[in-house]
Structure 1
Amino acid sequence: MKLVISDAHTGLIAAIDTVFQGSSWERCRVHFMRNALSTVPKATGPMVASIIRTIFAQPDTEHVFTQFHEVVRMLTRSHPKVAEMLEDAQNDILAFCEFPVAHWRQIWSTNPLERVNKEIKRRTDVVGTFPNPAALLRLAGHVLIEQHDEWDGADRRYFSEHSMKLLNTTEEEVAIPELAAA
């Protein structure tokens, strides 16, 4: 296990640190965005969200950090609380930068997992009542097997075999000065 992505629930973070020792933790950017936008007036939310999203639209680690600092600078004037939240969460929301650029889209949020959970919920709602726990487990297991097969064998794989080999690069090849100092 190299990376665990979740929201910033303190109990969950503590459990991740205990169970997945040595792996990185990343705060889901979608969950962070919800938290940040809850501190601004609804009318300015879309503008603030657009500004924050520019951080993640960068081509490489250097540009991500440069844009991060620019966004914090911009928001310090208009929305200081959001700027402070960004600064506090810098290492948490930018942990994806420790991984190959080819993986970034898949790992900067928990959306793929949430889609799987939503599909399990949808299918259990269709069934309604289960005769026993084993029936529920079979249904959920079937959804997970389908998802695995889709990610494994589809034309557009979630992580290709080639992209997984990128994880074996040395730390010097993926050096990130600001995260290394943390």
Structure 2
Amino acid sequence: MGISQTDDLVFQFINHMAVTFSTLNPFMRFLSEKAEYLFYLGIIVYWFTRIHKNRQMVITTLFSACVGFGLGSILSHFFYRDRPFVHDTVNQLIEHSANASFPSDHSIGAFVIATGIGLFHKKDGVIWLVLAGLISFSRIWNGVHYPSDVITGAFIGVISALMIYQMVHRWSVAYKCLNVGIDLYEKIEKKIWINYKKDRSSNLKN
């Protein structure tokens, strides 16, 4: 049995769960359509903790995401693949345009952020990686991706995060630029906050 046949059989097995375990469908739709916003919210929350290590993590992770999505875009052009619902009858639970299926952008994004967080905070990373896995699984369940799409996307996300993390921490110039950028931002942030408090105090007095 070839890889393509195995991929299709695994897809059919998981996608049919939407019929067998239909009570889970609302949860799976949430994972596919909304759960990615939890990652965006998480990145924002980590940034505004105003902890230097967290800000290093956020910037490193965002650079990793750029690399990951760039690699995914290149692969999708060289190895174009239609989505499962284009040629076959599947249990499609969410709306999706009939664009490239390989690799999964959702998997890239979820795993690059989860791995980026895990490299700085191991315990937090486990939680985010579990969520990334659930999102990827839901994309198959809902009929918009094949297993190989999400597996490749996850691989790209993890490798991109590891690569940028290693580059930043082993290349002194990159590490210095990262910290200089954060320090500059924090000086501007502090100045804005001081001016805000002055203006607020002045308005209260008036």
Q: Which structure features the higher share of helix residues?
A: 2
Please say which structure displays the higher CA radius of gyration: 2
Q: TM-score, normalised by structure 1?
A: 0.28
Query: Higher RCO, 1 or 2 (CA under 8 Å, sep at least 6)?
Result: 2
